[in-house]
Structure 1
């Protein structure tokens, strides 16, 4: 009971807030189980001899859907009095796609497995994009402006610990069971995390919001102008989103390259790939605690600069070696900085977002993210085919360093919500 009491948040929370904190953490356990399958999805396709373009699609498809639907979905959610039910059901829908992936690879003829899996994850992009909006709004409503770092540190620490443990056992399973049965068992088994997430996330209680009503009888242009005008007035929001867009381009460019680099250039067995992912995920836990302390002592801007700089080095360092031991060490170092980035990007974004229009603003911020995620993975895989995987990873590192420079020379946000 003492552990659960401490898990459920700071001592000064009221009973509703304490239950919310606890439900958020247990939801994180469910998500952590499902997240353990995520890094192996592209590895599975690579072992099924998917092309670089097809693996790039796995990253680009959610972004393409998000770019097209982000504003309509944000407008829809802005009209809802309470979006917790949408948060729960969309999370369940996305995670169950892992189970569908496992069943598809069992039931479909081999030549149809890759198209079938890509179709499943193409359909998953709609709830996936709605979920990304709901997550920011719900977490901000649960924590408030003063509790964002604390809540997300608790959630991502528990989520990371769950994922690290699950990934470790996945690695053992993948090496001991024949392919593709090993991946089928992993994808189907870990989808139980979706049920855990659904049961507890739907219990989160946040105040109802006043739905934004767009006046009828106006033209599409007038309605669009009314939608965009409040965003144009928030200069801090636009500045942060554009800088994050550039940095995210460097992250997205490397996403399809790492599994290809591990499988096709270094020829790593699944056990080593699991070890790399386990190390990076486990170190995240230490990183969350470290950066939370640093934010209290030095402020969030210091966290932003150190995290963006440190994470920029990972693709470059990985491209310089074929040693699985060194890559595992570099992945652990990257995990430290990734933890800071997770915390500070969420907090810095929500500082610039008016609470009463959070769904609308978050959807616009996501739209820029999706634009980077559409183009960058395809550029990355194209560069890898022209120049090789190592040089393509170095390009990703350079783009990230430029993004760090933009944050470093820019002024911190003046208006904070």
Structure 2
């Protein structure tokens, strides 16, 4: 899977770029329903455990299946059909949720919806691998910042507008009809996404020969052999794992910190989140511009150091007004993190084994997303919210120090 945009004509590359951006609109339209799914289940009588399962299932499935799915995708001549098909299956789950609410008795609904989303985690894991491979192939080595900054800005704007309109509808239509309309209507975004993403054109590739083994030990040895041949990938992935763990560690702590220590109102918490989201969208364009002038390494070091300041400053000055400012600054650096982590990771991935190596990186990310939040809440219980945030800042600073040592090229 070593296709790049340079293998294609200018017109095809231009059409691919446009299809990626319109695909983002469809995805944003459907995923605007995501925050309302746990709310819907709660209103339908779901327990805390059931709501927790909804959040945890993608990570568990991803950790278990990412390598298997990555190895399967590595043998495909063209990954685009798997990318668009996986996306359609995931986003169609919103429509199935709405239909289940209409046709199933209430006592069976919660478990049925959990079953729908449990099955959706399989194409969701495939999608996570396909996304990186397809975006890298469409953008080429020099276009990753431009492609993804535009895509994520469009996604953010669309998602914000649709979420605002959805909240207005939910307040005006009786329950559960309001949620049924929401899930079914927004699932149309999946069709938009499928239509345009399936029209991304990448040349067919001859899959590389993968060493086959009948035993788990042999399979592990094959992966280790590939990793030993690509030390830059191993180095960057481990550093990225440390930094992502530091971010995930603070994810469940911040809401608790805002409520219990800062005593912020719902409106103030909403303003904090809005400040971060709004500046993130601006940050995508800014960091693309900065990367052209100062290079990816400057972006990497600036953003990993800058994002460390958010938990540090919040813990030291727990005042709503200041935290709104800190959140906006964090949003700016988070935009750079999103872009540079993708760009730097794909620099270390051997093109002919892109699906395999992306699945390895995804497995580490799933592990971080599962374990770090649990560690964060445990630490908050034992050392306090502010101290846990300071620990997150310290771990981010450790990640920054690790990135100071550059990786050798592939």
Shorter-chain TM-score bucket reads 0.7 to 0.9
- Does the CA-based 8 Å contact 1:88-1:202 persist in structure 2? yes
The match for 1:284 is 280
Give the one of 330, 340, 362 matched to 1:344: 340
- Residue 238 of structure 1, CA deviation: 0.4
The match for 1:370 is 366
1:413 aligns with 2:407: yes
How has the CA–CA distance of structure 1 residues 38 and 336 changed in structure 2, closer, same or farther, with 3 Å as cutoff? farther
- Does the CA-based 8 Å contact 1:56-1:256 persist in structure 2? no
The match for 1:159 is 155
- Does the CA-based 8 Å contact 1:34-1:193 persist in structure 2? yes
Name the SS for the 2:307 alignment partner.
helix
- Does the CA-based 8 Å contact 2:253-2:389 persist in structure 1? yes
Matches within 5 A, 1:17-166: 17-42=13-38, 56-104=52-100, 115-166=111-162
- Residue 178 of structure 1, CA deviation: 6.0
Name the SS for the 2:308 alignment partner.
helix
- Does the CA-based 8 Å contact 2:30-2:190 persist in structure 1? yes
Question: Alpha-carbon deviations, 1:165-198, whole Å to 9, x = none?
Answer: 2233344445555666655544443222211111
Structure 1 residue runs of 5 or longer lacking an equivalent are: 1-8
Question: Aligned partners of 1:27 and 1:15: how far apart in 2?
Answer: 18
Question: Alpha-carbon deviations, 1:350-376, whole Å to 9, x = none?
Answer: 000111110111111111111111212
Question: Aligned partners of 2:38 and 2:256: how far apart in 1?
Answer: 9
Question: Aligned partners of 1:177 and 1:346: how far apart in 2?
Answer: 41
- Residue 396 of structure 1, CA deviation: 3.6
How has the CA–CA distance of structure 1 residues 130 and 216 changed in structure 2, closer, same or farther, with 3 Å as cutoff? closer
- Residue 309 of structure 1, CA deviation: 2.5
Q: How many aligned positions are there?
A: 402
- Residue 37 of structure 1, CA deviation: 3.1
Question: Aligned partners of 2:106 and 2:384: how far apart in 1?
Answer: 28
Name the SS for the 1:124 alignment partner.
helix
RMSD: 3.4
- Residue 51 of structure 1, CA deviation: 6.6
Question: Aligned partners of 1:83 and 1:198: how far apart in 2?
Answer: 14
Question: Aligned partners of 2:385 and 2:51: how far apart in 1?
Answer: 14
- Does the CA-based 8 Å contact 1:43-1:263 persist in structure 2? no
Q: Which moved more, 1:282-291 or 1:55-64?
A: 55-64
Structure 2 residue runs of 5 or longer lacking an equivalent are: none
- Does the CA-based 8 Å contact 2:21-2:154 persist in structure 1? yes
- Residue 143 of structure 1, CA deviation: 1.3
